[in-house]
Amino acid sequence: MPIPDGKQVHNLEHGHVVVQHQGLTPEQLGRLRAVVATDPFMMVMAPRPQMSETLVLTAWGAIQTCDGLPDNVPGLVAGFAARFRNRAPESIP
């Protein structure tokens, strides 16, 4: 279920990483779910059908877009989360 924009901004301002996708095959969606499940702390995953990219990682002040699901998606998500998770105006120490 897509995340309403207001809730998405609220999550971002508290330091969450938002992983949004569209147009994935069931196999690709399973792969992405498994990646997020390995480190779900302060991470939200949801479809966003209206975006043109296949995968978008968002954090406060940062965005990573992908036109497809990259082979290195585990490292991409882990690296993005390590750099940006819990670094927002209302992050919880």
**What residues contact 28, with CB distance under 8 A and at least 6 apart?**
69
Q: Which three-class secondary structure state does DSSP give residue 4?
A: coil
Q: Which three-class secondary structure state does DSSP give residue 49?
A: coil
Q: Calculate what percentage of the chain has a pLDDT beyond 70.
A: 99
Is residue 85's pLDDT more than 70? yes
Q: List domains and CATH numbers for the chain.
A: 5-84 (3.40.30.120)
Is residue 93's pLDDT more than 90? no
Beta strands in 1-93 (DSSP E): 17-21, 43-47, 55-59, 62-66
- What's the predicted TM-score (pTM) here? 0.94
| Residue 92 confidence (pLDDT) | 73
pLDDT in tens, 11-51: 999 999 999 999 999 999 999 999 999 999 999 999 999 99
Is residue 61's pLDDT more than 70? yes
